[in-house]
A and B are shown apart, each in its own frame.
Chain A
Amino acid sequence: MNVAAVVSSPHGPRPNRVDWIMAQVLLALVPGILAMTWYFGWGLLINITLAVLFALGAEAAVLRARGRPVLPTLKDYSAVVTAVLFAIAVPPTLPWWLTLIGMVFAIVLVKQLYGGLGYNPFNPAMAAYVLLLISYPVEMTTWLAPKVLAEHSLTFFESLQLIFLGHLPQGLDWDVISSATPLDEMRTQLGRDLMIEEIRQSPLWGDFGGRGWEWVGNWFLLGGIYLLGRRVITWHIPVSLLASILVLAGLFWMFDPQAYPFPAFHLFSGGVILGAFFIATDPVSACTTRKGQLIYGALIGALVFVIRSWGGYPDAVAFAVLLLNIAAPTIDYYTQPRVFGHARDHAKGQDGGAG
């Protein structure tokens, strides 16, 4: 069918645009990015820049190889969103070549080889994150200590040096600048059979999560609410995802508060808020029916809690999202809405009037 020659209704203006939607997502990420930069230094901004450049380069190369128009696709900002989400998820000191591998994998293999935007069954940013986490566990789990705890915050040039040359400035030691993430810490200490009350004696802990960390989520939450307000996303996935974690964590916490952390700890540690509003809501790889989205979000939340509590990795958003990506088409198929005029009980209408 020659769609270019189509003259079909409707004929009016088309007010919505893909690039606008993607730009809104990027805009909504800004508060969270600024907060993370505040706590963890320049590394994040450097990583974002690198990831965006790599992603656009990879996208342009594949499009050219596939003989597709390059510029219109680059201008939809979808590759930029992938790159920024990836850069936020990885440690701010990640060596540049890992970012390169991640972006090439995300754009070339996960996105373009499936047909490009709209056809990828998996979230490209999360697939790249998981690839690197499995292949380079040390680099992917070495996090800087948040500013409030760090004895030394890396300067811009120190960050550049670390990312590009891979070695620390003179006189600095990984022990000085890095620190376990709260999820990691919780997991390790619980593994040593410590009670949560004891674990939380450490200066690492703030009011409900790790110090510094616990506040980052709020800024992403702010961006998420903005996206809801602009109707870029709907409430179904974030709410069901967060509710599912809260309910599960709450149940276990009530059952044994010394072995299972307070529910808010789950919400504001790791990538849950970011995942709920920015990653699980990626429309391409998520469920598309409303009922399906509720199930999708709830199952991601449940998987996050299960993997965090009993699995092999401290955080689980990426794994949970990818697992549910596979399930999304099936969930969609079984959650189709009742079409207008289809049987539910239109027998009641036989008398010709309800009012």
Chain B
Amino acid sequence: MSHLAPPQPSPRHIWTFHGGIHVPDEKALSNGSSIESIPLPPRLVIPLAQHIGAPARACVRVGERVLKGQLIGEAQGYVSAAVHASSSGLVVAIEPRPVPHPSGLSAACVVIETDGEDAQAPLPEPLTDYVHLDPLVVRERVRWAGVVGLGGASFPTSVKLNPGPDRRLKTLVINGAECEPYITCDDRLMREQPTRILEGVRILRHLAGAERVLIGIEDNKAAAIAALVQALAVTDLQQIARVVPIPTLYPSGGERQLIRVLTGLEVPSHGIPAQIGILCQNVGTAAAVADAVLRGQPLISRVVTVTGRSVDAPRNLEVPVGTPASTLIAHCGGFRQPPRKLLCGGPMMGFELPDAEVPVTKATNCLLALTAAETPDPGPALACIRCGRCAEVCPVRLLPQQLYWHARAKDLDRAQDYNLFDCIECGCCAAVCPSHIPLVHYYRYAKTEIWAREQDRRKADQARLRHQARLERLERQEQERKAKLRKKKESLEGEIGAEPGSADAKRAAIEAARQRAAAKKKAALEGQSGDSRRGEPLTDGGSRSTDTADAPDPVPAPRQPVERIEEST
């Protein structure tokens, strides 16, 4: 039958989330032509931190020759990701360079002068039989390959794949929603390489042990839906996996929103999907996992949408990580007109690039060059009239007008009362605000302020605890000393009272002790004439040294006492 009628996505109940907005999707600018590769740039600037978590540590030296796929940055710590050379060449520098980051700051990068040979490093064995391997081995491969979430958040995938011992993942959600306007890289990938994506889905499902797979795609991508449905129909996944077209509504591609739409469940605030038995991965990530496991290839390139009406010929490119943005733009015919803004990411959540020389990273899904007409100057922000449109569109059901009020007043406690940290910064509120207030900016500002304040508070707490612990210890030592003295006195008195006959013996013993002490004192004075304290009769020799260490000190307290306090508290 499948020869007569193309397979259709199976109808399935879907849920809704609160709010969301319809924005012109602008996908047609770039979704018409297939993914192209670009000529190798003369220089690759590969950031060591392209992911959430600790930056990778460079494991090559300046002057070293590297091969394509060779590890150049080792993952450091659990939440981290490895970085590989995207092509062969010479490492000419390891230094801070401007990177695509909202802060506009520089970060450590490995700069490779490519030799044009694209010589491949030896790759690890494909794990084609992953079904029968220890999941740990497969997960380790994903970790080795430096796979991170390619939907934009770039969280290390291997970490996400390990939900913890007592959590069972029941549902694998594959995110093909691509709800941001303009961006079409996932769309093209789904249309052109559905099999590769499904290979990854199969691996992810196996690793997660999920019973079902839901592939969510916004219904403005009919071709992508059709391609995946067709590819799915010839795999063994079709029993448990479904392609689910979902209504086009920004931000349905947000992880929490998509999970809600597909399963009706809400990821707990401050929690992760694994807590409700769900693993969510982007389609591009699935493809990267397939490459890592089945082909032993590390993540060294990705699809990037280059679009916006300032770009002469918008399209999707397969780009080695580290390629400067300018190379991509040049490949798309350059700028038709100077862009008003050059963004990394979409218009709703993307951030402005300082210049076109920053490199493409694993997280770069889109370079968006907007004309003045596409990103008009919103003009000065007017006063909030509390119309509540922001609250109507907030997908998290926050009250943005109240958050704004408190953020503006720097009443950060109140802002937290109103659940500031549940804000996903999707930008719906700001997009509908009639007063053109940069609401998201205020929330980011308030969050940063709170983080800074928390840090200060932690430091102050630590200092206070340290001080308290010291006072307590001094007090304890004093008590101990007194108790000891009292005990000694009592025992002496007791002995005298009980055995009057032995008083002489006692006195002799005391005298002997005195002589011993005097001898000791003398020896000490001779040995260290400068330090008179050492010569004093010791009441409690053991505590003296710590006491000195904790004495009021103009320089910051050494590390050791802090640790001891942490143990004691």
Contact = CB atoms under 8 A, between A and B. Distances in A.
Interface of A: 1, 3-4, 6-18, 20-21, 72, 76, 78, 115-119, 234, 283-284, 286, 288-290, 332, 336-343, 346, 349-355
A214 to B, nearest CB: 32
B445 interface: yes
Nearest to B269: A341
List the 5 closest pairs (A to B, CB-CB), nearest first: A352-B277, A352-B170, A118-B383, A10-B427, A8-B441
B265 A8 contact: no
A334 B156 CA distance: 40
Interface in B313-372: 341, 343, 345, 347-352, 370
Contacts of A337: 391, 397, 399
A336 B262 CA distance: 26
Contact of A288 (B17, B168, B267, B388): B388
Contacts of B278: 352
A85 B164 CA distance: 62
A118 B433 CA distance: 13
Contacts of B391: 288-290, 337
Interface in B264-297: 264-271, 276-278
B532 to A, nearest CB: 59
B416 interface: no
A9 B269 contact: no
Interface stretch (B139-147, B196-204, B417-425, B560-568): B417-425
A336 B418 contact: yes
Given A7-B341, A283-B388, A340-B395, 13 more contacts: A8-B441, A8-B444, A10-B348, A12-B431, A14-B378, A118-B384, A288-B388, A288-B399, A290-B391, A341-B396, A342-B268, A351-B170, A352-B170
Given A9-B427, A10-B348, A339-B396, A349 B266 contact: yes
B388 to A, nearest CB: 5
Contacts of B271: 341
Contact of B168 (A6, A78, A352): A352
A14 B440 CA distance: 14
Given A119-B383, A283-B388, A3 B441 contact: yes
A346 B276 contact: yes
A11 B276 contact: no
B374 interface: yes
B18 A284 contact: no
B386 A11 contact: no
Nearest to A233: B387
Contacts of B387: 21, 283
Contacts of A352: 168-171, 263, 265, 276-278
B13 interface: yes
A340 B17 contact: yes
B418 A1 contact: no
B18 A340 contact: yes
A24 B435 CA distance: 15
Given A288-B401, A352-B277, A18 B389 contact: no
Contacts of B398: 339
B276 A72 contact: no
26 contacts: A3-B441, A8-B441, A9-B347, A9-B349, A9-B350, A9-B440, A11-B341, A12-B375, A14-B378, A14-B431, A118-B385, A118-B386, A118-B435, A288-B388, A289-B399, A332-B399, A339-B269, A339-B396, A340-B256, A341-B256, A341-B267, A343-B268, A349-B276, A349-B277, A350-B276, A352-B263
A11 B397 contact: no
Interface string B42-62: 000000000000000000000
B434 A355 contact: no
B265 A353 contact: yes
A17 B434 contact: yes
Contacts of B378: 14
Contacts of A343: 268
A23 to B, nearest CB: 11
A15 B399 CA distance: 20
A339 B431 contact: no
B135 interface: no
A270 B397 CA distance: 37
Contacts of B352: 7, 11
B436 interface: yes
Contacts of A76: 382
Contacts of A350: 276-277
B386 A283 contact: yes
B276 A284 contact: no
Interface string B403-439: 0000000000000001100100101001111111010
Contacts of B402: 288, 332
A221 to B, nearest CB: 22
A18 B434 contact: yes
B185 to A, nearest CB: 18
B12 interface: yes
A346 B383 contact: no
A71 to B, nearest CB: 12
A337 B19 CA distance: 13
A249 B212 CA distance: 57
B347 A346 contact: no
B268 A12 contact: no
Contacts of B401: 288
Contact of A355 (B263, B375, B384): B263
Contacts of B269: 339-342
Given A9-B440, A18-B434, A118-B384, A341 B422 contact: yes
B152 interface: no
Contacts of B23: 12
B500 interface: no
Contacts of B441: 3, 6, 8
B527 interface: no
A117 B383 contact: yes
B239 to A, nearest CB: 16
Contact of B171 (A6, A288, A353): A353
B376 interface: yes
B290 to A, nearest CB: 24
A9 B277 contact: no
A13 B441 CA distance: 16
B348 A9 contact: yes
A9 B425 contact: yes
Nearest to B13: A355
Contact of A11 (B268, B343, B444): B343
B471 interface: no
B248 to A, nearest CB: 16
B265 A284 contact: no
Contact of A72 (B169, B211, B382, B433): B382
A119 B395 CA distance: 26
A346 B349 contact: no
A9 B351 contact: yes
B413 to A, nearest CB: 14
A286 B385 CA distance: 10
A355 B376 contact: no
A182 to B, nearest CB: 34
Contact of B376 (A13, A284, A336, A346): A13
Contacts of A336: 399, 418
Interface in B213-270: 256, 260, 262-270
